[in-house]
Every structure is written in structure tokens, then in C-alpha cells.
């Protein structure tokens, strides 16, 4: 094997995206990792201007020229790529000046950081979620004990009033105490989560979404449009059908309520499923995961609560309990998954990630 063949073999098998630019800042070579990152073939990229890769072309040109003229390496962080066939991707990149056959060249190394940033956010979210869940469980148990006493006392008082033949209004007050105590107990039970062990089975995520879609359609009676964008090749996931339905329903119902509060002619909820490979959730690597997006074109999540929407008792609606997303996140966490949210006016996307055993 010649040295050129060895060098090409090494470059082709690197996980780091590598590009070689000539003195005119035109791409001469990209390795397979760069093709995967940019989602464009080597044949299409070679011969094109390197500045066209970046959202801020002026900044990248200044950086490349400076490295070329000074002969010193330069590093840029948190730069956005701009490639027509790829989603917006954030990268760190380093430029190293080289000389090859008396020609000035630039070696560009790119590291995608979007997923690393998401992993950090996930870990922080899960840590806070675990802490708040433990706190809520402790408070819920402390609340349930006196609630039982209040309800028992109200029933005894109602019985004594009935025996003494007092007026109906007094008995009605006792019934109000009993009813409100039951309501609070149900609220506490929802905070505590399911009181039974999950029934794990192999199921299609589309069975879950279709069940939720039928419930939403029955509830809205044509006032909004449901769109299915499924990947039919997604393998089955192992999970508790009822818990997954509840999680997806809570997310979808939030979207429905946001859309119906501000009537729109084109109100729409989209269920989209995709497969992702080599994905990390809560620090654990998974070869294959299922991603289910529940998207709507409503007003978006308020900036004031965007970072706290999965916390208990946080709601964007005055009449909301603030428990729907907390319960959904807890159910998905129980399946070693996670829910993430991205929202702006006109587009809100809740993404549910679930591992697939292969």
C-alpha cells in the first residue's frame, strides 16, 4: 500500500468531517464523514465555494482568508451550515493552513455540536424532572393523609345532619366538602402517576398515534385537520400501550387546545414518525430509536414558560392543571425515552424519542 493510499484510507474512515480547500477557497476534497454531515455527495461539493457552506458567508470568508494569509490555524465555534438539502446544523470548525506541492491549501475539520447541546439539555431536564418528581411524590403522600381524614369527617357530619333532620342546605355544604376532597385526591393521584406495573408488549407506534388521532377527531368534530406523515418501516417498540397512548394524547390535546383557543382557518396537527440511528438519550447510546413528532401551527409556547413546561403545575392556559406534560414526560421516561419541545409562533413540535430493541 502506497502512502497516498494509506492517507486516503485514514481520511475515509475518520468520524470527523474533513475538507481540503485550495488557495481560492474552493473545495478540492471531502471525506465520507463530511458527505454525511452535509448530506451532499463529494461529486456535487468538489469545485464549489467553501463560503457557500455557511449561513454567515462573509464571516467564513474572512476567517478562511485570515488563516490563508497568516499561516496560523483558526477555530470558529457555533457556526451554522447552509446546505440546500440539509437541515440547519451547528458546527465547530478548525482551519489549518497547509502547503502541498508549493500550493497553499486549507484543511477544514468540522464537528457537529447540535446533538451534544441537546444531550446537555436532556441531562439537565432529566435531573430537574427527577428532583421535582421526588418532591411532588413526597408532597402528594403528605397531602393524601389529611384528605382522607377530611373526607371521613365530612361523611360522618353528613350522616349526623341527616339523622337530626337539619335543612338540605347544611347537608349540601358537607357534600361540597366531600366532592372537593375527591377532586383534590384525584389530582394527587395524577401527580403520583400510574399505580400499577407497566404491561410491556411489542407494539407499533402507529397503533398509538391512530388511537390518539381518532380521539382528537371525535373531540374536534372537523374544526382542525390531522395530518399523518408516517415512516412505515419503523420497527415495533416495547412499551405499555396505555401509558404511551396517554403520553401522546396529553401532548396532542395540548396542541388541540392551543389551536381551538385561537380559531384558525388552517388549524392543523401533524403526527410524523421517523427512525434515527446511533442516538443518545440520557447518556445512553441506542443503535436505533423511534422519533414521533406532534406538530401544530398554533401560537407557540409562551417564552415565559418554555423552559419549564414539563414541570408540575406549569400551564400556558389559565384553566389548565399543568400536569399533562409532566405525566407524559414521566411515562416516556419510564420507557427510557424523552420528550423535547421546540416552539415558535406558527410552529410547535413536541418530539418523543423511544428506543427500539434490535
Residues 160-171 pLDDT 10s: 887 777 666 777
pLDDT above 70 for 344: yes
Predicted confidence band of residue 3 (pLDDT cuts 50, 70, 90): low
Measure the CA–CA gap between 255 and 330, rounded to whole angstroms.
Answer: 19
Q: What's the Cα-to-Cα distance from 142 to each of 36, 137, 188, rounded to whole Å? A: 54, 9, 10
Predicted confidence band of residue 321 (pLDDT cuts 50, 70, 90): low
211 contact partners, CB below 8 Å, separation of at least 6: 245
In the chain, how many H helices and how many E strands?
Answer: 9, 12
Domain ranges in the chain are 3-112, 116-192, 200-355
Whole-number average pLDDT of the chain: 82
**Between 295 and 284, the higher pLDDT residue:** 295
* pTM as predicted: 0.60
Mean pLDDT of 129-152: 72
Write phi, then psi, for 199 (nearest 5 degrees): -100, 100
Task: Find cell 407524559 and name the residue.
Answer: 328
Q: Which of 20-24, 45-49, 55-59, 270-274 has the lowest mean pLDDT?
A: 55-59
Measure the CA–CA gap between 54 and 37, rounded to whole angstroms.
Answer: 13
Mean pLDDT of 274-287: 82
pLDDT above 60 for 320: no
Predicted confidence band of residue 248 (pLDDT cuts 50, 70, 90): very high
Q: What is the dihedral of CA 273, 274, 276, 280, to 10 degrees?
A: -20
Question: Which of 271, 246, 215, 213 is CA-nearest to residue 327?
Answer: 246
**Between 82 and 56, the higher pLDDT residue:** 56
**Between 237 and 154, the higher pLDDT residue:** 237
Secondary structure (DSSP) of 8-77? HHHHHT-SSEEEEE-TTSBEEEE-HHHHHHHTS-HHHHTTSBGGGGBSSHHHHHHHHHHHHHH---EEEE
Q: Residue 120's pLDDT is what?
A: 60
Measure the CA–CA gap between 345 and 16, rounded to whole angstroms.
Answer: 36
**Between 271 and 29, the higher pLDDT residue:** 271
pLDDT above 90 for 268: yes
Specify the CATH number for 3-112; select among 3.40.800.20, 3.40.50.300, 3.40.50.10490, 3.30.450.20. 3.30.450.20
Q: Which of 84-88, 137-141, 342-346 has the lowest mean pLDDT?
A: 84-88
pLDDT above 90 for 278: no
For the beta carbon of residue 318, count every other beta carbon within 10 angstroms. Answer: 5
Predicted confidence band of residue 86 (pLDDT cuts 50, 70, 90): very low
Measure the CA–CA gap between 351 and 330, rounded to whole angstroms.
Answer: 14
Q: Residue 11's pLDDT is what?
A: 74
Predicted confidence band of residue 291 (pLDDT cuts 50, 70, 90): very high
Q: What's the Cα-to-Cα distance from 70 to each of 20, 21, 98, 107, 132, rounded to whole Å? A: 18, 16, 11, 14, 53
305 contact partners, CB below 8 Å, separation of at least 6: 314, 315, 316
- Asked if 308 and 314 count as a contact pair (C-beta separation under 8 A), the reply is yes
Measure the CA–CA gap between 30 and 45, rounded to whole angstroms.
Answer: 8
Assigned CATH class of 200-355? alpha beta
Mean pLDDT of 304-321: 65
Tens of pLDDT, residue by residue over 179-230, are 888 877 777 776 666 656 678 999 999 999 999 999 999 888 888 999 999 9
Mean pLDDT of 25-43: 85
Q: Which of 72-86, 114-128, 236-250 has the lowest mean pLDDT?
A: 114-128
pLDDT above 60 for 134: yes
Strands, E assignment, the chain: 17-21, 27-30, 74-80, 90-100, 103-112, 200-203, 225-229, 237-240, 268-281, 284-296, 338-344, 347-355
Amino acid at each position: 500500500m502506497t502512502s497516498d493510499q494509506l492517507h486516503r484510507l485514514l481520511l475515509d474512515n475518520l468520524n470527523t468531517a474533513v475538507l481540503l480547500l485550495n488557495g481560492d477557497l474552493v473545495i478540492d476534497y471531502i471525506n465520507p464523514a463530511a458527505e454525511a454531515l452535509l448530506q451532499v455527495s463529494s461529486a456535487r461539493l468538489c469545485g464549489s465555494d467553501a463560503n457557500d457552506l455557511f449561513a454567515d458567508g462573509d464571516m467564513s470568508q474572512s476567517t478562511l482568508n485570515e488563516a490563508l494569509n497568516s499561516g496560523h490555524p483558526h477555530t470558529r465555534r457555533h457556526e451554522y451550515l447552509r446546505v440546500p438539502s440539509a437541515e440547519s446544523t451547528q458546527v465547530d470548525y478548525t482551519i489549518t493552513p497547509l502547503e502541498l506541492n508549493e500550493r497553499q491549501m486549507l484543511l477544514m475539520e468540522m464537528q457537529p455540536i447540535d446533538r451534544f447541546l441537546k444531550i446537555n439539555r436532556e441531562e439537565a431536564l432529566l435531573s430537574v424532572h427527577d428532583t421535582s418528581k421526588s418532591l411532588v411524590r413526597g408532597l402528594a403522600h403528605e397531602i393524601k393523609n389529611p384528605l382522607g381524614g377530611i373526607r371521613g369527617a365530612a361523611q360522618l357530619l353528613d350522616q349526623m345532619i341527616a339523622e337530626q333532620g337539619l335543612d338540605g342546605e347544611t347537608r349540601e355544604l358537607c357534600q361540597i366538602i366531600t366532592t372537593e376532597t375527591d377532586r383534590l385526591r384525584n389530582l394527587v393521584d395524577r401527580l403520583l402517576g400510574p399505580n400499577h406495573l407497566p404491561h410491556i408488549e411489542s407494539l407499533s407506534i402507529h397503533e398509538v398515534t391512530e388511537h390518539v388521532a381518532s380521539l382528537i377527531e371525535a373531540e374536534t368534530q372537523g374544526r382542525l385537520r390531522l395530518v399523518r406523515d408516517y415512516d412505515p418501516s419503523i420497527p415495533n417498540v416495547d412499551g405499555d400501550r396505555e401509558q404511551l397512548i396517554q403520553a401522546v394524547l396529553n401532548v396532542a390535546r395540548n396542541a388541540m387546545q392551543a389551536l381551538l383557543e385561537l380559531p384558525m382557518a388552517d388549524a392543523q396537527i401533524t403526527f410524523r414518525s421517523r427512525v434515527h440511528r446511533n442516538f443518545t438519550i440520557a447518556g445512553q447510546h441506542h443503535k436505533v430509536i423511534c422519533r414521533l413528532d406532534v406538530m401544530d401551527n398554533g401560537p407557540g409556547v409562551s417564552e415565559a414558560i418554555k423552559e419549564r413546561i414539563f414541570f408540575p403545575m406549569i400551564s400556558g392556559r389559565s384553566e389548565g392543571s399543568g400536569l399533562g406534560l409532566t405525566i407524559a414526560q414521566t411515562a416516556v421516561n419510564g420507557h427510557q425515552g424523552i420528550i423535547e419541545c421546540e416552539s415558535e409562533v406558527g410552529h410547535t413540535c413536541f418530539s418523543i424519542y423511544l428506543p427500539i430493541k434490535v
